[in-house]
Chains A and B, each alone.
Chain A
Amino acid sequence: MASLDPESSEQTHLSEEELVWLYYEEAENIGDLSSHLSVCGQCRTKYEELKADLLSIEGWQIPERSPEYAGNVWKVLIQREPALARKRKAWRHRLSFSRMAVAMSVMAMVCVAFFIGRYTKDETESAQQNDVRQQLLAADLSDHLEQSERVLLELANSEQDQQGVRIDRQRVENLLRTNRLYRLAAGTEGHASLAVVLEDLERILLDVANGPEQLSTEQLDALKIRMDDQELLFKVRVLELRLRKFNPASEESLGEREWKG
């Protein structure tokens, strides 16, 4: 490492390596090196020479490809990989009864586990206070899920041939904030499965909230596919219905009924 003090009686200069890392802004002590350059003419000259050499490399020309190049690459790729030409089936036709049944049973288990967990955890408090708290929580969360479900339904039912779908972003942003709180609470309470569903919901809400007010057909398709793959609409719907029926006093019977399917 060079002595960076130009006034030093034993002044040395910056090495070629230091100059290179200064040029690429990878030096650990850029400030010191720059200061030295500003007062040392010899190093400044060397640095200018290095810059000139490296800039001359910019003149290396790459053979131009025609505007049709990408299309030609695509044609070759299709020949080599036929799966590339495959189109996806319409979103709505992919929902099968078996998948719905799986989604519903999973959500029923998640819902019951969450509320049984909450209930037993607070058993030291008075039963009455706890009942009220649980019912309020269930009502709040089910309201939130119902509103979220409406947004998901609007997205899911919008027609593919429309020019786009207008979204009330303010409403989605509000849902997003609320959802985040519920998701954090579920995670803190150790209800990982519920937190996962809320996280899936949050990602969709986040994309919609951060997206344009008018979603294009392509953006809409991508959202539908994600919702579809995650069974999100059904999970949210089932969770909401279970919460509406939730009654702390009959918590045990609810659990029995759900577990028996």
Chain B
Amino acid sequence: MEMSDATAVALVKAGDGDAFRVLVERHSHKIFRLAFRLAGNEEDAEDIVQETFLRAFRNINQFDERAVFTSWLYRIATNYSLDLLRIRKIRMTQSLSASLEEGQSMEDRLATELPTPERLMFSSQLQDRITNAMEQLTTQERSAFMLRHFEGQSIEEISSVLKVGGNATKHAIFRAVQKMRQVLQPLEGESAWRR
């Protein structure tokens, strides 16, 4: 019979670090999927997976055994992802400023880095389309949408992770849906035309 999460956590809390392996083996694929959806690339997703498990191990004594371990792990992963995405955003802004100082126009820069309707129109991969749609979202919109749409978390749970009120969470999800539909809709028109 497989060791339950609760048993593994109890063993880890009692000093058996090796028991943590059970938790890593059981949840690393799920955390990777969440991380990839939040970060949008494999490199960051790998980083999030490692950091999530390290933080979970180092803070295992703060975990309330009455709670669900996966929810706690998801919370750690999401919080770390949010931090990472914020850092990425700041770096991107700094990089953009540097380019402008070097003489590259804002229009040129945006033309190479941001998806245009034309680029989307001619993209043959749904993957690319959705990835592009995701890039239109703010960090908060993206996180809230991912947690609701793919992880099925409640508004209350998402609010708790994002540390915002319920209305703000709902607004973020709704804005995410609106933005994604705006990006995806021209493609639907194209696919209908092609048929």
Chain A residues with a Cβ under 8 A of chain B: 16-17, 20-21, 24, 26, 50, 52-54, 56-57, 59-63, 65, 69-71, 73-74, 76-77, 80-81, 83-88, 212, 216, 218-219, 221-222, 225-226, 228-229
Q: Are B1 and A50 in contact (CB-based, < 8 A)? A: no
Q: Could you jot down 11 A-B contacts, CB within 8 Å?
A: A21-B170, A62-B36, A73-B50, A74-B24, A81-B54, A81-B58, A85-B18, A87-B16, A88-B11, A222-B6, A225-B11
Question: A62-B33, A70-B25 are known contacts. Are A219 and B1 too (CB-CB below 8 A)?
Answer: yes
CA distance A71 to B26 in the complex (A): 10
B-chain residues with CB within 8 Å of residue A59 when the two chains form the complex = 126-127, 130
Q: Are B126 and A56 in contact (CB-based, < 8 A)? A: yes
B-chain residues with CB within 8 Å of residue A20 when the two chains form the complex = 173-174, 177
| Stretch of B74-82, B93-101, B110-118, B178-186 lying at the A interface | B178-186
Chain B interface main SS type: helix
A-chain residues with CB within 8 Å of residue B1 when the two chains form the complex = 212, 216, 218-219
B105 at the binding interface (Cβ < 8 Å): no
Q: Are A225 and B126 in contact (CB-based, < 8 A)? A: no
Q: Are B32 and A222 in contact (CB-based, < 8 A)? A: no
Q: Are B185 and A53 in contact (CB-based, < 8 A)? A: yes
A-chain residues with CB within 8 Å of residue B49 when the two chains form the complex = 73
B-chain residues with CB within 8 Å of residue A226 when the two chains form the complex = 10, 14
Question: A60-B127, A73-B28, A87-B17 are known contacts. Are A216 and B180 too (CB-CB below 8 A)?
Answer: no
Q: Are B184 and A84 in contact (CB-based, < 8 A)? A: no
A-chain residues with CB within 8 Å of residue B28 when the two chains form the complex = 65, 69-70, 73
Chain A interface main SS type: helix
Residue interface bits B137-179, CB-to-A below 8 A is 1, else 0: 0000000000011000001000000000000001001100110
Distance (whole angstroms) from the CB of A228 to the closest CB of chain B: 8
Q: Are A65 and B130 in contact (CB-based, < 8 A)? A: no
CA distance A73 to B155 in the complex (A): 31
| Known A20-B177, A219-B4; 15 more pairs at CB < 8 Å | A16-B178, A24-B148, A24-B149, A50-B177, A56-B184, A57-B149, A59-B130, A77-B20, A81-B57, A84-B20, A86-B16, A86-B17, A216-B1, A225-B10, A226-B14
Total residues of chain B contacting the partner, CB 8 A:
49
Question: A20-B174, A225-B10 are known contacts. Are A84 and B57 too (CB-CB below 8 A)?
Answer: yes
Of the listed residues B7, B10, B130, B131, the one surrounded by the most CB atoms of chain A closer than 10 A to its CB is B7
CA distance A59 to B127 in the complex (A): 7
CA distance A103 to B18 in the complex (A): 29
CA distance A12 to B32 in the complex (A): 44
CA distance A85 to B6 in the complex (A): 19
CA distance A216 to B11 in the complex (A): 14
Distance (whole angstroms) from the CB of B149 to the closest CB of chain A: 7
A-chain residues with CB within 8 Å of residue B149 when the two chains form the complex = 24, 54, 57
CA distance A150 to B12 in the complex (A): 27
